Structure 1
Amino acid sequence: MQSKILAVYTFNELAAPFLADRNKAYRDVEPGAFAAVEQCEGFIARSGYRGEDGPASWGSMVMPKCWENLNGDGWAPVTLLLWTSIEALIAATYHGYHGHAYRLGHQWHIRAKDIPSYVLWWVPEDHRPDWAEAVGRYEGLLDNGPSASAFSFKQVFDPAGRRTNPDAQKVQLLAGRITPAPTQD
């Protein structure tokens, strides 16, 4: 049986256009958050965005049907990444520089009550999901709730499709290896 890795697609809407003063903090922390995540144990790869410096894009950009373009600029923060495990992703999400940036997200993201901000699913280790696949998984979670093919941290499935819980000790071990966020003066 081929090994599997974890794919994650994140989606949010900004409360103001990307270049608005309100999003300056977002623009300031985003490059550091990406750099920090890429240094975390368990990170495999991430899709870039067509026309931008950085990693290659995994296909043409697609937005989920729930996207309302509320800020009117035609842009929303989305990511598509691959990880070795759920524990590695949890550690990277909530600790270090990315964890710091994540906790600031309320300053610029619109929090929709019934719309998830991410979806997780397992893929063969040699597979790179494209944006269309990621949005399909996201919409599957949105429309049908968690399943082995589209889930979240609240209800996790293992690569064989069985419900499971992340290993908290492994998360703590991995989190302890992440460089702490810089302190604020």
Structure 2
Amino acid sequence: MKSHGFHVAIYNFGIHVAEYGDPAIDGFLTREPLNFEAAARASGFVARSGYDGEPGPASWGPQVFPRFLSGSGRQSGPSSLSLWRDIESLMAFSYAGIHAEALKHARRWNMPQQWPPLVLFWIEAGQQPEWRDAVERFELLADRGASATAFTFKQAFDPDGRPYGIDRARVREIAAINAEGQAELLHTARSLPV
């Protein structure tokens, strides 16, 4: 797909079953740096926001959380915000390799969700969405369903706002390319306790 001067952004959010530092979520925490490294090596990766006060990339504005965090007893939840060349590149990273290995354990680390796990949206190339914008789109998706403003892999839209059919063959091709650069990361992740 030609993105016509746009990148696709993804924001995801969850709530852990325990506080940071609790062994129940150690499997998530030990895999997180491997996932960030795998993303940086992935075909089509553009950039990601960091987190205030943590080493790594700068935060794209103050980090905020969706209203679903309220009442959970947590001060924060695992979330990320990143930019990708196109939907196929993002999907290839998300559902194959090291990220897929982590996803299969997500129910162990996260509370059951009454909200979407992620939101996708288009942003002009060269721009960075702020956390606040991503959270607003996430809540819009939760409240109104998929639209050209806030969508999912299952109901995707192109940058012009038209429904978009993901090229699954291209996703598989990109995933195969990514696998070559993730091999040792995936080997490490598979050796970690869950």
What percent of counterpart residues are identical?
A: 37
Counterpart residue identity of residue 175, structure 1: A
How many angstroms does 1:182 deviate by?
A: 1.4
Q: For the residues of structure 2 that align with 1:75 and 1:122, how far apart are their CA atoms?
A: 25
How many angstroms does 1:28 deviate by?
A: 0.8
Considering fraction of residues, name the structure with more helix: 2
SS of the counterpart of 1:81?
Answer: strand
Aligned counterpart, 1:109: 110
Q: For the residues of structure 2 that align with 1:136 and 1:159, how far apart are their CA atoms?
A: 18
SS of the counterpart of 1:107?
Answer: helix
- Structure 2 residue 124 is the aligned partner of structure 1 residue 119: no
RMSD of aligned Cα (Å):
1.6
How many angstroms does 1:69 deviate by?
A: 5.4
Aligned counterpart, 1:161: 161
- 41, 54, 76: which one pairs with 1:52? 54
Structure 2 unaligned spans of 5+: none
Aligned counterpart, 1:15: 17
Aligned counterpart, 2:97: 96
Q: For the residues of structure 1 that align with 2:21 and 2:74, how far apart are their CA atoms?
A: 9
Using the size of structure 2 for normalisation, the TM-score is: 0.90
How many angstroms does 1:73 deviate by?
A: 4.0
Counterpart residue identity of residue 142, structure 1: A
Aligned counterpart, 1:83: 84
1:163 to 1:2, Cα distance in 2 relative to 1, 3 A: closer
Aligned counterpart, 2:187: 182
Using the size of structure 1 for normalisation, the TM-score is: 0.94
Q: For the residues of structure 1 that align with 2:140 and 2:150, how far apart are their CA atoms?
A: 6
Moved more, 122-131 or 59-68: 59-68
Q: For the residues of structure 2 that align with 1:104 and 1:37, how far apart are their CA atoms?
A: 18
Aligned counterpart, 2:152: 152
Counterpart residue identity of residue 125, structure 1: A
Q: For the residues of structure 2 that align with 1:11 and 1:73, how far apart are their CA atoms?
A: 13
CA contact (8 A) 2:141 2:147 kept: yes
Counterpart residue identity of residue 171, structure 2: V
- Structure 2 residue 71 is the aligned partner of structure 1 residue 66: no
State the Cα deviation string for residues 106-127 of structure 1 (Å, max 9, x = none). 1101121x30011000010021
SS of the counterpart of 2:174?
Answer: helix
Structure 1 unaligned spans of 5+: none
Runs of 4+ in 1 over 4 A off after TM superposition: none
